[in-house]
Chain A
Amino acid sequence: MTRALRRRHRAATLALALALPPAVAVALLSRPPEPRSPEPLAAALREPAAPHDGRSVGLDTRGQPVVPDALVYWSPGESDPESLAAGSVFLGSLPAEAQRSYAVPGVGAGRVVVYSLAWQRIVRSVQVPAEGRP
């Protein structure tokens, strides 16, 4: 290499050597003390803001820890809260730091299920009664 390129190369290496290890150390030291597992996050997800507002349900993740790649499904009828029923309908993604409404098909009872694609499991499940019922 030319001398000018070697100087740039040395400057780049020195910058990396000075900046990168502290940045990685900060990232590693900032990790939560316990593994981020679905259970505490599931509990932290708020109840639907409007559990049965017409035929839509609301979910609010503002101020809550992030559930990675959360997807919202509607399982019609009475279903097992621990599994995603075969006839479930995909309602949309659930972003972090947002309040979202999801249109629910039909008027019958059902279950809103929040599923984390990253964790490959259900993190929240709320039963919604049929329209017109308390």
Chain B
Amino acid sequence: MSHTYVAVQWNRQKRVYDACLATGLALYLSLFVGLGALENPGATAETLAIRGLGTAALLLLHVILCIGPLCRLSPAFLPLLYNRRHLGVTMFALALAHAGFALFQFHALGDVHPLVSVLTANTRFASVPQFPFEAFGMVALAILFVMAATSHDFWLANLTAPVWKTLHMGVYVAYAALVLHVALGVLQDETSPLLAGALAAGLATVLGLHLAAAQREAPTDRERPAVDDGWVDVCAVAEIPEKRARIATVAGERVAVFRYDGLLSAVSNVCQHQNGPLGEGRVLKGCITCPWHGYQYDPATGASPAPFTERVPTFNLRVRAGRVEVHCRPNPPGTRVAPLKLEAELVRPG
């Protein structure tokens, strides 16, 4: 957790994650260059490197964009989300290397500065097949640079999670720019249906998964009306699994009601670290544990155990006729609310 800033908080999961990433990339690049050299013996090493790095970056970006919605659809994918930022930084490094090789091969040998050359060599903005597609690549690279540079928890803590998340939603602009970079660039010369089909399949996968996840999330965001002086009906006690939570939207934001050891507590569903969904986590060793990165909170106070300092708002709650009601007004973050003790007949596993 974030009581102090260190470069990277390495642990076994991160090492395994990064080892898998490095192995996968090495395999992909070796196969691409090897098969590319066999199929096109005349291709130079630079050309193979440009294409290999470019396709690896694009493929990795698709993986990155699919992880979020996959985790919304199934918790089985949560381990992929844990270290997603390393994927993002790696993807930026691949894209930068691709751009560097391309700049050198295509623009560094003339009498014009390479960066001037890439911006002025082709100005056919009115033509679709001869559009200067490099511009889209440069836009994407600039966005990816900002995201990679601010990926560390230092920036997350200082910018605050909502600002940081908004900044990192620039990945969708970068994705659109990269898809156009490919469609208006290499696909204008390479007429193989395989390449166009692969791009279309990637686009369909990313958009399809996002739309499916959004559709699944929509009912949770439906506002629940107050039934009695600010109290909002959330669910039946029996609907909450032990050590887990039910999530409901109350007064414009999601609230997670946890059931644990015969007690009920309600806290904001939004983790202070990366705004992860606390209500999809579990109560482990007496603490609510965020499913994204393992940040923990005391269910009664919404505060992280010492020495950590994260705090989330808590909510008053009550049980009437076997149904849980939450008051719509949040308490200030870290405010203790005595957990509600369930009566014996309600303490059966849900």
Contacts and interface: CB of A to CB of B under 8 A. Distances in A.
A108 B320 CA distance: 102
A27 B183 contact: yes
B122 A66 contact: yes
Given A13-B211, A21-B203, A27-B187, A92 B128 contact: no
B77 interface: no
Interface in A88-105: 90, 92-93, 95-97
A86 interface: no
A1 B165 contact: yes
A45 to B, nearest CB: 15
B239 interface: no
A134 interface: no
Nearest to A23: B180
Contacts of B165: 1, 5
B199 interface: yes
Nearest to B217: A6
A20 B47 CA distance: 28
Nearest to B192: A35
Residues of B contacting A: mostly = helix
Contacts of B203: 20-21, 24
Contacts of A19: 176
Given A2-B162, A117-B105, A65 B130 contact: yes
A32 interface: yes
Given A8-B166, A93-B109, A13 B172 contact: yes
A20 B124 CA distance: 21
B169 A12 contact: yes
Contacts of A1: 165, 270, 275, 277
A31 B121 contact: no
A13 B180 contact: no
Contacts of B179: 20, 23-24
A9 B188 CA distance: 31
A120 B44 contact: yes
Interface string A14-44: 0111011101101110111001100000000
A36 B112 contact: no
A54 interface: no
Nearest to B47: A120
Interface in A43-71: 65-66, 68-69, 71
Q: Which of B110, B122, B196 has the most CB of A within 10 A?
A: B110
Contacts of A118: 106
Contacts of B277: 1
B123 A28 contact: no
